[in-house]
């Protein structure tokens, strides 16, 4: 039997695709990662019985171990970015779970939802809303973005106070590890899901053993295993929700205020945007972005305040007054709008499904990102460095997007620079690529940690890592994927 025939036996002929068009589609994305076609694409549909939904994946991974075939897991439909789903080696099989998209369970009382990997935010948000919940959102994911993909890629969420550690908001998972073994992490580990629900359990306690394959796999770009389902904690739908906007000429005072608010765990959403990024998320196209950003303050700190079941108005009022006081101490003033943008409109953009163009592509059609994790007190320095670097490459700083997202309750932050470019303009593409390459190296030396080392960041990250940790990291990979079949070559193995 050929490899294709063997795969066909597992998932059915309709789900093994190797036509040139499809292979071409999976060979590249919007990043600068070098295109390479996979051998074929396997579409996973899963099973209506959540306790069996992993079986096809398990069989495919076991097969891959037997045949030493590289596997590339994919959860989101295109457009894809960052190069993590482009094979690094020939003969790979893409395991596409974008059609495995059941919302298995939603439980308001326990604030938990359990979903398959193909479920998108656009699909999940209304389903949760019916139950009085909402997902913890990253900043305006594209409509085709898989929730599991986002969370397993450790995309930061907007609410740092509910972000206890990098795993959040993931609670439990069922994974097929690179070895072909199925593992359930968390309180879902024993019994079937149906049995657990009958036992009044909700797959919400993180871990019942002495290792954590969720953490191991998160951010690994599919090099450890494949997530078959995932339970997540969900936010309560507020009765009242307001977004306070704090404008500033420079980020320093906003960072100061952010630290103060984070310390007391006040507010819900809390992040900083520059004028370009705020304009990009609020405007639909290049013209509108350019028009809007001229009116916006250079920097805005956005703080959501919400009231829930008990005395919602009083909660919002008290928090607003407290935050106002803190802002005053920092020489800042807050409002519900900055010129031409209202907090309510922003909240709508953040939480309501949008089928439009991803905000990063709205200006020029392409966007290269430079993001990493560090601490808030270093951010101002990073901004200065990147602005200087961009200027030295004659890239207009006015087009540069900045998004600062405090994480882990304020212990660190996601720091992101976005460089929009016209993909049809090779000179601009090359310029942006150079800025990002040089910028990553520059900032890695100044405190940037590439926790999600896409593309060339992998080289940067592992060069800066101490040799013993790197050895331990390779051992970790070997434990869970001994034959190195999961997305080989993507990281340092």
Partner 1 sequence: MALSKEQYKVFEDIVGPENISDDPVILDGGHSGPTGFSAGFYLQRPPAVILPGSTEDVQAIMKAINRYGLQANVSSSGWGCLSGTNALSKDMIVLDMRRMNRILEIDEKNMCAVVEPYVSAGQLQGVLEKLGFSAHCTGAGPTQSVLASAAAFGGMGFDSIFMSYSGRNVLGVEWVTPTGEVARIGSRGSGQGWFYPDSPGVSVWGTLRGGFGTSAGLGVFTKCATKIYPWPGEGEEHTGVSPTYLVEKYPEKLKAYYLAFPSYERMAEAVYKISEANIGYMLNRIWGAALPFVVADSNDEVWALLQTGVFQERCKYGFAFSLGAFSSREIEYQEKTLMKILEETEGDTIDDLLDLTPAGRSRLYYHLSWNAGSVAAVFKAAGAFLAGVSYIDTTDACIDGTKIATEVKKEYGEKGVLLDDGDACWGVAYEGGVLSGLHTEQIWQWDPSEAESVAGCFDYMVSSIKPWADRGFTLFWGGKMGPFAELYGPAATDYQMWLKRIKREFDPKAVANPFFYTAIAAEE
Footprint on residues 373-412 left by partner 1 (CB under 8 A): 373-377, 408-412
150 vs 15: CA distance, rounded Å: 24
Residues contacting residue 421 through CB under 8 Å, at least 6 positions apart: 364, 366, 367, 368, 428, 429, 431, 432
Which of 209, 285, 388, 391 is the binder for partner 1 (CB under 8 A)?
A: 209
Residue 244 within binding range of partner 1, rule CB under 8 A = no
CA dist list (Å): 129 to 24, 34, 113, 135, 223: 38, 40, 12, 9, 34
Q: CA dihedral defined by 482, 487, 488, 493, rounded to 10 degrees?
A: -70
Binding of residue 114 to partner 1 (CB under 8 A): no
DSSP label of 151: H
Is residue 195 a contact point for partner 1 (CB under 8 A)? yes
Choose, by CB under 8 A, the member of 32, 308, 337, 387 that binds partner 1: 308
Q: Which is nearer to partner 1, 324 or 345 (CB)?
A: 324
Out of 464, 483, 484, 489, name the contact with partner 1 by CB under 8 A.
Answer: 464
Q: Is 213 in the site for partner 1 (CB under 8 A)?
A: yes
Give yes or no for residue 469 binding partner 1 (CB under 8 A). yes
> Residue 7 or 373: which CB sits closer to partner 1?
373
Q: Which of residues 145-174 bind partner 1 (CB under 8 A)?
A: 161-162, 164-166
Q: Does 221 help bind partner 1 (rule: CB under 8 A)?
A: yes
Distance from C-alpha of 177 to C-alpha of 482, rounded to nearest angstrom: 10
Residue 407 beta carbon to partner 1: minimum distance, rounded to whole angstroms: 8
311 touches partner 1 by CB under 8 A:
yes
Q: How far apart are CA 88 and CA 222, in angstroms?
A: 12
> Which parts of 47-76 interact with partner 1 (CB under 8 A)?
none
Q: How far, in Å, CA of 132 to CA of 122, rounded?
A: 16
Burial grade of 115 (CB within 10 A; 0-12, 13-18, 19 or more): buried
Minimum distance from residue 136 beta carbon to partner 1 (Å)? 9
| Residues facing 153 on adjacent strands | none
Please report, as residue ranges, which positions from 325 to 344 form the binding site for partner 1 (by CB under 8 A): 325
234 is an interface residue for partner 1 by CB under 8 A: yes
Is 210 near partner 1 (CB under 8 A)?
Answer: yes
How many binding residues for partner 1 (CB under 8 A)?
A: 102
């Amino acid at each position: 039997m050929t490899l294709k025939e063997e795969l066909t036996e597992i998932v059915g002929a309709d789900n093994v695709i190797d036509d040139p068009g499809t292979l071409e589609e999976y060979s590249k994305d919007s990043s600068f990662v070098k295109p390479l076609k996979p051998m074929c694409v396997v579409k996973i549909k899963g099973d209506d019985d959540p306790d069996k939904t992993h079986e096809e994946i398990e069989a495919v991974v076991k097969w891959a171990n037997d045949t030493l075939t590289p596997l590339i897991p994919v959860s989101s439909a295109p457009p894809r970015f960052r190069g993590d789903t482009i094979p690094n080696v020939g003969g790979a099989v893409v395991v596409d779970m974008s059609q495995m998209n059941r919302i298995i369970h939603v439980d308001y009382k326990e604030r938990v939802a359990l979903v398959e990997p193909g479920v998108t935010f656009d699909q999940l948000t209304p389903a949760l809303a019916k139950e009085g919940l909402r997902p913890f959102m990253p900043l305006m994911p594209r409509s085709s973005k898989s929730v599991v993909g986002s969370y397993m890629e450790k995309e930061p969420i907007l609410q740092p106070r509910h972000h206890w550690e990098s795993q959040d908001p993931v609670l439990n998972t069922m994974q097929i590890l690179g070895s072909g073994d199925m593992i359930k992490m968390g309180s879902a580990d024993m019994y079937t899901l149906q049995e657990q629900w009958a036992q009044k359990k909700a797959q919400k306690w993180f871990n019942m053993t002495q290792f954590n394959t969720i953490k191991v796999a998160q951010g690994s770009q599919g090099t450890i295993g494949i997530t078959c389902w995932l339970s997540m904690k969900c936010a309560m739908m507020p009765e009242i929700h307001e977004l306070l906007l704090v404008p500033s000429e420079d980020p320093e005072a906003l960072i100061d205020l952010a630290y103060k608010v984070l310390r007391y765990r006040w507010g819900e959403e809390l992040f900083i945007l520059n004028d370009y990024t705020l304009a990009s998320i609020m405007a639909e196209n290049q013209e509108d972005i350019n028009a809007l950003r001229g009116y916006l303050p250079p920097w805005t700190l956005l703080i959501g305040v919400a009231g829930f079941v008990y005395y919602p108005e009083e909660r919002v009022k008290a928090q607003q007054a407290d935050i106002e006081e803190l802002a005053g101490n920092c020489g800042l003033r807050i409002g519900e709008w900055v010129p031409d943008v209202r907090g309510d409109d922003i909240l709508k953009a953040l939480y309501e499904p949008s089928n439009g163009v991803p905000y990063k592509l709205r200006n020029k059609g392409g966007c290269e990102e430079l993001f990493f994790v560090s601490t808030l007190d270093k951010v101002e320095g990073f901004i200065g460095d990147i602005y200087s670097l961009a200027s030295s490459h004659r890239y207009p700083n006015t087009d540069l997007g900045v998004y600062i997202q405090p994480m882990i309750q304020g212990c660190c932050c996601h720091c992101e620079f976005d460089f929009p470019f016209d993909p049809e303009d090779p000179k601009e593409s090359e310029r942006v690529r150079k800025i990002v390459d040089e910028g990553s190296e520059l900032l890695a030396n100044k405190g940037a940690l590439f926790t999600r080392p896409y593309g060339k960041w992998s080289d940067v990250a592992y060069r800066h890592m101490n040799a013993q940790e790197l050895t331990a990291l390779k051992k970790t990979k070997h434990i869970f994927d001994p034959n190195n079949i999961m997305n080989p070559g993507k990281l340092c193995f």
